[in-house]
Amino acid sequence: MCQPISWIEKQGHIFFLTSKDLRGKTFAEFKKYNSYWAGDIVGHGAIEYFYPESKGGTNFEVNDLRKPSAFPKEIVNAMKQGLFRGLFTDEGLLLKRASAEYEKIEQGASAKYEKIRQGAYDEYEKIRKGAYAEYQKIRKGASAEYEKIRKGAYDEYEKIEQGAFWDLWAKPENRIKAWR
């Protein structure tokens, strides 16, 4: 997985994705093309998908977003304009007071998400357990039927096998010397 801001340089041009790229037909096609798109939306593969002319360029990414000097000016300008909204967050870029406000909002959103997620999970478990109980009931019936058929077939096999052995045994000339 690539870092939040990745880019490709090719022939003096800088290719990177912004939130504008997350709209329209190309983004819808990308989501179909890459089922793991959420984890790759900032990556070099995604950049090449949106900008095929970037293929063959040099890949770059930065781990520490607090250093604007590590980025090309095009990316610094895009960052300042908020063009990466929806692509990533980095609380380390906020001042202490803004970070505290962000935490408050993020925790509220997280609690709301967890409540909805837990409700959906509980419903899933209820359905799964019901389906599993039904599966066990069907499996038990099928297993009993299988066992009945298998037992009948085995009894028939044993009858033939026992009969063949003892029919042959009945003739002393078929026995080993010690048993004649």
Q: What is the pLDDT of residues 151-172, one digit of tens each?
A: 999 989 999 999 998 889 899 9
How far apart are alpha carbons 26 and 50 in whole angstroms? 7
Q: What is the pLDDT of residues 125-154, one digit of tens each?
A: 999 999 999 999 999 999 999 999 999 999
| Ranges of each domain in the chain | 5-93, 94-169
Nearest of 42, 44, 120 to residue 86 by alpha carbon: 42
What integer is the mean pLDDT of 39-65?
A: 87
Structure tokens at 159: 């009858």
Structure tokens at 77: 């300008």
Round to whole Å and give the CA distance between 110 and 9.
37
Alpha-carbon distance of 70 to 76, in angstroms, equals 9
Distance separating alpha carbons of residues 22 and 29, to the nearest angstrom: 11
Helix (H) or strand (E) holding 148: helix 96-169
Q: What is the pLDDT of residue 39?
A: 63
39, 44, 71: which is closest to 56 by C-alpha? 44
Three-state SS for 65?
Answer: coil
| 3 state DSSP class of 149 | helix
Asked whether the predicted pLDDT for residue 120 surpasses 90, the reply is: yes
Query: In b/e form, how buried is each residue of 74-95, taking b as 16+ CB within 10 angstroms?
Result: ebeebbeeebbeebeeeeeeee
Averaged pLDDT, 108-133: 95
pLDDT over 70 at 37, yes or no: no
Token readout for 102 is 């962000």
Percentage of residues of the chain with pLDDT beyond 90: 58
**Residue 85 C-alpha from the chain's centroid:** 24
